[in-house]
Amino acid sequence: KVRVAVLISGRGSNMVALAEAARDPSFPAEIVLVLSNDPGAEGLARAAALGIPTRAIDHRSYPDRATFDAAIDMALREAGADLICLAGFMRILTDGFVERWAGRMLNIHPSLLPLFKGTHTHAQALAAGVRLHGCTVHFVVPELDAGPIVAQAAVPVHEGDDPDSLAARVIVQERRLYPKALALVAGRRARLDGGRVVIDDPPPDGVLV
Ligand code: GAR
């Protein structure tokens, strides 16, 4: 099985979805580490309750991004991780770190990329007046929220939505999408080819939900 480390900063509900999917013996990946930059992250306790090894590496203890990223890299190597899933990890990683894990690091972003990069994606979607919104799993490249797309899920925007109501609709789809996308990548059915993701025998609901 592919050994996956999940990096979080908060609640960790995507991490729990990945961990629950990985309990299935036929799932091609196992979660070997949950790592947070915030020692108080709720997700760390949730991971521990699931029996998953956890680490907290507090970014505030490091003088700069490069030394913080080196500490994360060390922890990932100690855990024998093959692949990283960013799941609500709210630190920008250095180009050096991203390049070291090129093709081996996924992120979930709460919008239909390439729309609404960065933060406050639900407010951005409401301000733009889109009728469809959603989430994207993509490979991580140095440019923020710009890597090759593995899978997306869409939700409607309703009259009267506010960022919280929209976020609540999107997160349900995130928890469905991320395990499917991870299964495609870990099972080597999704691979990078010329800056795009090529999927062998795509499942009808695994790429666009
Ligand atoms: C998710 O909505 C995820 O897409 C988003 O943070 C939330 C984490 O929730 N990630 C980003 O905004 C990354 N820039 P969770 O901790 O419950 O998985």
For 145-191, the pLDDT digits (tens) are 999 999 999 999 999 999 999 999 999 999 999 999 999 999 999 99
- Nearest alpha carbon, ligand 1 atom 17: 13
Q: For residue 9, which atom of ligand 1 is closest to its CA?
A: 16
Active centre residues (catalytic): 109
Q: Give the Å distance between the CA of 80 and the centre of ligand 1.
A: 25
Q: Can you give the pLDDT at residue 94?
A: 98
Q: Can you give the pLDDT at residue 206?
A: 56
Q: For residue 17, which atom of ligand 1 is closest to its CA?
A: 18
Q: Can you give the pLDDT at residue 203?
A: 73
Q: CB–CB of 139/103 below 8 Å?
A: yes
Using 70 as the pLDDT threshold, list the residues of the chain that sit under it. 205-209
Q: For residue 135, which atom of ligand 1 is closest to its CA?
A: 4
Q: Can you give the pLDDT at residue 169?
A: 98
Cβ-Cβ contacts under 8 Å for 74 (sequence gap 6 or more): none
Q: Can you give the pLDDT at residue 201?
A: 83
Q: Can you give the pLDDT at residue 209?
A: 57
Q: Can you give the pLDDT at residue 60?
A: 97
Ligand 1 environment, Cβ below 6 A? 8, 10-14, 43, 87-88, 108-110, 171, 174
Residue 198 pairs with which residues in a beta bridge? 191
Helix (H, G, I), strand (E, B) or coil at 9: coil
Q: Can you give the pLDDT at residue 205?
A: 67
37 is in an annotated binding site: no
**Type of residue at 11:** R
